[in-house]
């Protein structure tokens, strides 16, 4: 038997409620396991009498007449508030009433048309691919150095022009793909040397 | 004007009939009937609230709030339930709203410190006038003090279920309706509330 059922049986037994034969059997089993419940039941009867003697006696609230007067006033106030609120609400609705119906019908029609168009128009499934334009960026650690990139697509070559560099000494050798700029077959060539710019 | 504001609470057959008659007349716009209805129930409502919030002034104000709500909701009242059950449900809602606002409730329990501050003194003006012998009156006052102290130690849920069952005499189903809980929860709360209250009372009287 679950706890809820057990508590229900005990409470009903304490209140001297009519129990069925099956319930009586269940109760006897409970009482056999917990004989202290009999004491609880006996104590409950006297406790109920005590509670009745304390709280059950006729008594009125303090200042009964003032209570009535104040209650009447409170009811009058609440009715006044309600009437004012209703009046305000009525006026507001009244001003709206003449255009609410056509606007509502129009809105419904627009919503319907929009719904049918959106709902039935075939939507092309296409993948929009944004062409990524790769802009070369040249990082120049020295201040005042500007770079320009010249693409020679036909030749499959790009030329980076750096303006503002110090002259590169002859001893400086550029390497690319394990080849020196002084080699004939080098990918990177020092094309010209100007005082303040180098072209690679 | 009716003057039996503390009479049999649960509302037996006759009581329920009188209530229903007054409700019907109130719904028809008879303000005098509504006044009688308030007078019949205000004592019980106040006692119920006072036992929950443990503060005279707040109980008085909340009782006002209850009857204003009753007035507003009365046109919607249908005689499917007893008026007293419906009324206690309003009391329950008003009290729990108030407790929520005051943040007195923490995980379903009152703040014990606040409860002590708000403890109603035995023999305060809310206690009934008794023309008992001095020794009997003294014993009653002691009993009241003990019971109020023990009740104050119960959680609001347990206290309310004890009030509704043992004092107001509502049946289990009515309690479930008032407190908006299942029947199983009603039985469980009654079981533990009775057990705890007995333990507390035996400690109080033994102390």
Residues B180, B199, single domain; the answer is: yes
pLDDT in tens, A62-89: 999 999 999 999 998 888 887 777 776 6
Residues B79, B135, single domain; the answer is: no
Decide if B64 and A53 are in contact by the 8 Å CB cutoff: no
A92 touches B: beta carbon within 8 Å: no
Residues B95, B18, single domain; the answer is: yes
What's the length of chain B?
207
Of B138, B141, B133, B162, give the one whose Cα is nearest residue B47: B162
Question: Where a domain ends, among B66, B82, B101?
Answer: B101
CA–CA separation, B110 vs B184, rounded Å? 23
A to B CB pairs, distance under 8 Å: 115
CA–CA separation, B87 vs B19, rounded Å? 11
Name the CA radius of gyration of chain A, rounded.
49
* pLDDT value of position A41: 93
* pLDDT value of position B10: 47
Decide if A50 and B147 are in contact by the 8 Å CB cutoff: yes
A74 touches B: beta carbon within 8 Å: yes
Spell out a b/e string for A9-30, using b for 16 or more CB atoms within 10 Å of the CB, else e: bbbbbbbeeeeeeebeebbeeb
| Cβ-based contacts of A10 with chain B (< 8 Å) | 191
CA–CA separation, B174 vs B85, rounded Å? 6
pLDDT in tens, B40-82: 999 999 999 998 888 899 999 999 999 999 999 999 998 888 8
Domain membership of residue B49 (yes or no) is yes
Domain membership of residue B8 (yes or no) is no
Count: domains in chain B: 2
* pLDDT value of position B113: 40
Domain membership of residue B94 (yes or no) is yes
Selected for mutation to probe chain A from B1, B6, B171 (highest A CB count within 10 Å) is: B6
Question: Where a domain ends, among B81, B101, B121?
Answer: B101
Provide mean pLDDT across the span B121-147. 61
Domain membership of residue B56 (yes or no) is yes
Identify the CATH number of the domain in which residue B24 sits. 1.10.1740.10
User: In terms of CA atoms, which chain B residue is nearest residue A40?
Assistant: B195
CA angle A167, A170, A175 (to 5 degrees): 95
Identify the CATH number of the domain in which residue B137 sits. 1.10.10.10
Residues B95, B119, single domain; the answer is: no
Residues B134, B168, single domain; the answer is: yes
Give the residue extent of every domain in chain A: 3-55, 65-101, 137-167
A65 touches B: beta carbon within 8 Å: no
Decide if B166 and A8 are in contact by the 8 Å CB cutoff: no
Selected for mutation to probe chain A from B64, B74, B162 (highest A CB count within 10 Å) is: B64
* pLDDT value of position B84: 92
Residues of chain A falling short of pLDDT 70: 58, 88-100, 118-136, 141, 170, 172-200
Alpha helix ranges (H) inside A15-63: 21-33, 36-55
| Cβ-based contacts of A12 with chain B (< 8 Å) | 187
pLDDT in tens, B144-190: 888 889 999 999 999 999 999 998 889 999 999 999 999 999 999 99
A36 touches B: beta carbon within 8 Å: no
A87 touches B: beta carbon within 8 Å: no
Residues B71, B116, single domain; the answer is: no
* pLDDT value of position B105: 52
| Cβ-based contacts of B184 with chain A (< 8 Å) | 4, 8
* pLDDT value of position A35: 92
Question: Where a domain ends, among B52, B67, B101?
Answer: B101
Is the distance from CB of B201 to CB of B166 less than 8 angstroms?
A: no
What residues make up the domain containing B151?
112-205
Summary mean pLDDT of chain B: 81
Give me the sign of the Cα torsion angle A90, A96, A97, A100.
Answer: negative
What does pTM read for this prediction? 0.61
Residues B147, B176, single domain; the answer is: yes
A61 touches B: beta carbon within 8 Å: yes
Domain membership of residue B29 (yes or no) is yes
With 0-12 / 13-18 / 19 or more C-beta atoms within 10 angstroms meaning exposed / middle / buried, residue A171 is exposed
CA–CA separation, B176 vs A71, rounded Å? 29
Domain membership of residue B106 (yes or no) is no
Decide if B51 and A55 are in contact by the 8 Å CB cutoff: yes
């Amino acid at each position: 038997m679950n706890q809820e059922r057990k508590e229900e049986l005990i409470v009903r037994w304490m209140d001297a409620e009519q129990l069925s034969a099956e319930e009586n059997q269940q109760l006897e089993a409970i009482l056999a396991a917990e004989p202290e419940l009999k004491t609880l039941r006996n104590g409950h009867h006297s406790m109920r009498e005590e509670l009745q003697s304390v709280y059950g006696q006729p008594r009125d609230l303090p200042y009964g007449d003032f209570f009535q007067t104040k209650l009447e006033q409170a009811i009058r106030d609440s009715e006044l508030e309600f009437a004012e609120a209703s009046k305000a609400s009525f006026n507001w609705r009244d001003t709206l009433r003449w255009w609410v119906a056509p606007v509502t019908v129009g809105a419904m029609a627009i919503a319907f048309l929009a719904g049918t168009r959106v709902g039935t128009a075939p939507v092309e499934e296409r993948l929009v691919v944004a062409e990524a334009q790769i802009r070369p960026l040249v990082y120049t650690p020295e201040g005042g150095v500007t770079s320009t990139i010249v693409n020679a697509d036909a030749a499959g070559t790009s030329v980076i022009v750096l303006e503002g560099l110090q002259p590169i000494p002859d001893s400086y050798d550029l390497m690319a793909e394990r080849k020196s700029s002084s080699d004939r077959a080098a990918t990177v060539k020092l094309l010209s040397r100007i005082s303040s710019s180098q072209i690679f | 004007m009716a003057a039996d504001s503390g009479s049999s609470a649960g509302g037996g057959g006759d009581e329920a009939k009188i209530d229903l008659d007054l409700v019907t007349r109130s719904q028809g716009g008879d303000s005098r009937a509504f006044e009688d209805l308030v007078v019949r129930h205000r004592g019980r409502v106040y006692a119920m609230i006072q036992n929950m919030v443990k503060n005279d002034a707040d109980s008085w104000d909340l009782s006002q709030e209850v009857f204003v709500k009753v007035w507003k909701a009365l046109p919607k009242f249908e005689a499917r339930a007893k008026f007293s059950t419906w009324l206690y449900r309003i009391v329950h809602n008003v009290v729990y709203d108030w407790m929520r606002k005051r943040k007195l409730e923490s995980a379903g329990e009152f703040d014990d410190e606040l409860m002590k501050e708000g403890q109603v003194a035995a023999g305060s003006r809310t206690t009934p006038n008794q023309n008992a012998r001095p020794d009997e009156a003294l014993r009653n006052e002691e009993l009241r003090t003990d019971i109020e102290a023990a009740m104050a130690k119960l959680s609001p849920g347990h206290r309310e279920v004890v009030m509704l069952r043992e004092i107001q005499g509502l049946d289990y189903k009515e309690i479930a309706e008032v407190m908006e809980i299942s029947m199983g929860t009603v039985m469980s709360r009654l079981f533990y509330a009775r057990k705890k209250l007995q333990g507390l009372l035996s400690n109080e009287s033994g102390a």
